[in-house]
Amino acid sequence: MTGSDATDGIEQNRAFKKQMLDKHRPAFEVWLHCAQLLEESVVIERRLDSAFARALDLFFIEMFKSHQSLYPLCVMGHGEDAATIARRLFEIALQVGYLCSAESEQRGAIFLAHFWHTSKELAAVIELPEDRRLWWEEQYRHHKHLLRFNKKGDPATYWFGSNFAQLAEALGLKKTYDEDYRFLSHVAHCSSRGLLLDKVDSVLQIKTDRLIREILIFGTRYALWVAAHWNEHFGLIDAAKPENVRDEALGFNFKA
């Protein structure tokens, strides 16, 4: 590759991003309004004085990072990767729904037990200062009595004791799961029903704007679901702000 080729590639990428923003500006604006709200909220100091509060806040932070990831992937036309992130947002939303629906303190403690179990395994393979590693291990020992186990005696794959399909049904969201989650999984797994590739003059395109609006809007809806539960507990966001963004996301016109 020559220097000229590299320059051409950079210019083509820049032009493609501008095209994406111009073509799908309303969807990117809805994403932006939510992102700005989350950016303002995630830095606010809050009291994490219970297992429920700590679990809920961990989910909120993970949701924040995933929602932020949607923009660069969508603007670059990487729909399959953006769909993977949107599916993660949906999974986070389901878990938050379960966490907040009943026995919240006990469920928060069970989630933390699972969280520290997986963190203990991570600490064993990455380099950590000795005091930090010991602190992680102490958190695991403190919570491990709450771990759930499968029939083989191993810690359960999911802290909530079922799979995502069963969890969605228990929360009354089976239809949403069937329509949203299955589709996002097809895209994320590059199945024939979800592969987002186009051809231009018989040349296969590795970037596309196909379904970018849907991924941005539905990903934002899932994020707002999580933010609403988080704010119901912490009360740190003016309620009118997320409601305005929610109305934008729910009322988005995909046919415009």
Q: Is 172 left (phi over 0), alpha (psi -120 to 50) or beta?
A: left
Indicate the domain borders of the chain. Answer: 18-41+49-199+213-250
- DSSP tag of 145: G
In terms of pLDDT, which residue wins out, 31 or 205? Answer: 31
**In whole angstroms, what is the distance from residue 249 CA to residue 33 CA?**
10
Classify the C-alpha dihedral 52-54-55-58 as positive or negative: positive
Can you give the length of the chain in residues?
A: 256
> How far does CA 241 lie from the centroid of its chain?
21
What tens digit of pLDDT does each residue of 54-69 get? 999 999 999 999 999 9
Continuous segment of H or E residues that includes residue 198: strand 198-200
This prediction has a pTM of 0.88
Rg, the chain, Cα only = 21
**What per-residue confidence (pLDDT) applies to 69?**
97
**In whole angstroms, what is the distance from residue 86 CA to residue 169 CA?**
19
Going by pLDDT thresholds of 50, 70 and 90, the confidence category of residue 194 is: very low
Going by pLDDT thresholds of 50, 70 and 90, the confidence category of residue 169 is: very high
CB 26: neighbour CB atoms within 10 A?
Answer: 16
Mean pLDDT of the region 165-176: 96
Say if residue 139's pLDDT is above 90. Answer: no
- DSSP tag of 186: H
Say if residue 3's pLDDT is above 80. Answer: no
Average pLDDT, the chain: 88
CB 101: neighbour CB atoms within 10 A?
Answer: 13
